[in-house]
Amino acid sequence: MTSAPIIILVRPQLGENIGKAARAMLNFGLTEMRIVNPRDGWPNPSAGPAASGADIVLERAEVFDTLAEATADISHIYATTVRKRGVTKPVLTPEEAANGMLSAQGRSAILFGAERSGLETDEVAVARTIITVPINPEFGSLNLAQAVILCAYEWSKHQSLESPPKVELDPPAPQEELDGMIGQLFGLLEERDYFFPPERTGATKLTLRNLLTKPGWNSLEIRTLRGVLSAFKERKR
């Protein structure tokens, strides 16, 4: 079985961002994080609350002084960057990179740079491949967790993660129930002389019927609406 990629954060600045990156990882089944030269040291008290329960990622996180040490046992290194920074390397989308990791022999890792500047040119040079995404040229700014989640999600698509359970919706109510509610509404409106002028009554009722038919109310919803209509009628009395 192909090992999941390791997420390597290079020179991360804020503990909150490390925690959010851990949360993004665990959402999509990634648990191995390596941290290179964190600005505020490690462990960082701000990381835990931001991780929102992804403690296993933070507890297992390994810290390295240099990128060379963090990648020493990695066979396939991918660098995330919006632009190639003058380095000529293959450029893949997160989806293409995930496909490549699946068939690769040896461990894979994805590098993410510091929040303000991203990866430096010499850090990108360590990688064999660059990962980037099409992005708004007027605003090419992803935060650390967003960048991590883009790559983690594409990897997760090849894993057997469970999707959120589907919610079974009640079927639309029988036409008889819908007609009963519409008739009740029409009667209430007629009592209040809503249909005016008289020659427009047919067209107005047709518009209302079309409007009320669109949602596909279920039986509970129709009973609720009829209760509301009854409350208006009782109040008038």
In this predicted model, what pLDDT tens digit does every residue of 54-74 receive, in sequence order?
A: 999 999 999 999 999 999 999
Region class of 85: left (phi > 0), else alpha (psi between -120 and 50), else beta: left
pLDDT tens for each residue of 71-111: 999 999 999 987 655 667 899 999 999 999 988 889 999 99
Rounded to whole angstroms, the Cα distance separating 170 from 2 reads 42
**CB-CB contact of 12 with 144 (8 Å):** yes
Question: Domain range spanning residue 183?
Answer: 175-236
Residue 168 lies in a domain: no
Residue 167 lies in a domain: no
pTM: 0.71
Mean pLDDT score, 28-34: 96
Rounded to whole angstroms, the Cα distance separating 209 from 28 reads 46
Mean pLDDT score, 172-199: 91
Mean pLDDT score, 175-183: 92
Residue 127 lies in a domain: yes
Asked whether residue 124 falls in the same domain as residue 57, the answer is yes
Asked whether residue 31 falls in the same domain as residue 137, the answer is yes
Total structural domains within the chain: 2
Asked whether residue 148 falls in the same domain as residue 181, the answer is no
Give the pLDDT of residue 152.
Answer: 95
Residue 225 lies in a domain: yes
